[in-house]
Structure 1
Amino acid sequence: MTEADLPAVMSIEQATFPLDAWSEGMMRGELADMPRSRHYVVALVDDEIVAYAGLAAAADQADVQTIAVLEKHQGTGIGSAMLTELLAEAHRRGAREIFLEVRADNARAQTVYRHFGFEEIGTRRRYYDDGTDAIMMRRKLNG
């Protein structure tokens, strides 16, 4: 992902996370930390950005910062491909485990994360702006 991708990315961000979307300034801050501690990618279909994902990595831990796929492309495998890329990057950076938070009301995403070997490790009460809890998940990575 580059700054040139931000208009499309921010459109997807607003559509996917209408209640707690990141600001463009927050996203620019994430991109400013690439490649030092961040890794952000986009997915294209017919030259259109339809998804993006980001990873934060430091020492032996990594965090999935975000994964967003335009609604009309959900269920096509793009989200899984994005997560696969983030897991591979975490491994390349030497992470031993990877964490994420997912909305408690997002059963579809939880199912995907469990399929990828993530396990629930706790709950962050009222984590999201609308008061929804976040389920914290972790996956250990093979060395």
Structure 2
Amino acid sequence: MKTFIPLICSLFLIGCSESTSEQIPSSAEPKTAVEANTSTPEQKAPVTETATALPATSDDGGTLFTQKCASCHGAKGEKSALGKSAVIAEFSEQQVKDALRGYQTGTYGKEMKGLMQGQAKALNDAQIDALAKFISAL
């Protein structure tokens, strides 16, 4: 039984991380939109802003949540990830910030600490703030 736990955790980590199939449509859509809107100059700026909000390095809380959190926590943060975590939709903005920063430093978490530490380490302060604001509004 103990040999299966690392295997299950590895599979779950893969399932919770970003996949290249999600990135391909995101990067393809803005290019199409930019090409379609090149005839009118006033439409170029909004398309460029939209295109910058889509990469995984985005500071947009909704985009980050969809890419990094929703597969385990649910589309509205309503799930207990692996049946072991708290339901994050109930967290305040400060609770989300504390949790993500705690995961980064290794000072927060119980059973899901190792898995979440890998997810949180890649986030910068602006992304944590954006996620906290988005999650607390769910």
Q: TM-score range by the shorter chain?
A: under 0.3
Q: Which has the higher strand share?
A: 1
Q: Which has the larger radius of gyration?
A: 2
TM-score when scaled to structure 1? 0.26
Length-normalised TM-score, structure 2: 0.27
